[in-house]
Amino acid sequence: MKQLTVILLFLVLSIKQLYPQYGGKRFLVNFNANYTTTAKIYLNPYSTDIDVKNRSLGVEDIFSPSIDIRYRFTDEIILGLNSEYMKSSADADIAAIGPGGTVLVPIKEGYNSIPIEFTIFYLLPFSTEYFKFQMGGGAGYYYGSRFKEFGDASVSTVSRDFAFGIHVITSCDFLINDFLSVRGEMKFRDPEFELRSMYENTNVNYKGVELRIPKKEFDSKVNVDGITFTFGVGISF
């Protein structure tokens, strides 16, 4: 057993000597395309009715761009900072008051989010000259807002909570040359943010009909609970 441990240690050290990490470059900037499987929008997060409070609107197939900067702190430890822009929506209905009484109007309930995430990565020892496997974990701040699309409705944010979340990432960089690389990545996270929004005007013109929204302000909670898959192109320097 002791001899096997010595042999494995020798192999790991040999690999590090044979394959300099990222060609000796310290910084790697990646431009990414992301696909997140699911998210949820809670339309009544403060309801006293548990069923209403836990009822959510599912959002699926979320595509988003991001930029990622990583710094090789040591041969094994890499520090990363990532920023992403997410925007997605789902179909729903809203109750409004029209000339003939209350009507249900189709609406797109959506959210915008800008996550800013810090990650500490460990370069896995079985990485090779061209393939760099990393595993990391970290925390992020999630800035978000809500929007509703129907008629000429306009929504603004009244207040929002300071939202943090944690995440775990596995990724692989393929080095095309000393300066250019491509990346595949999988991220697990479960952030949520709560906010209060309001209609700029409770009178909405919908297909030529004047409708009135009975409630000017509304609360929401957004939970991005899906897995995020990433493909990106990176530049080392």
Taking a C-beta distance cutoff of 8 angstroms, is the pair 26, 37 a contact? no
What's the mean per-residue pLDDT of the chain? 90
More confident residue, 165 or 22: 165
Distance CA(191)–CA(224), nearest Å, equals 6
Give phi and psi for 207, each to the nearest 5.
55, 40
Q: In the Cβ-directed half-sphere of 100, how many Cα atoms lie within 13 Å?
A: 3
CATH class for domain 2-236?
mainly beta
The closest alpha carbon to 191, from 161, 166, 169, belongs to 166
29-33, 56-60, 65-69, 149-153: which range is least confident on average?
Answer: 149-153
Domain boundaries, the chain: 2-236
Distance CA(111)–CA(153), nearest Å, equals 15
Confidence band for 100, pLDDT divided at 50, 70 and 90: confident
pTM for this predicted structure: 0.86
Distance CA(40)–CA(59), nearest Å, equals 6
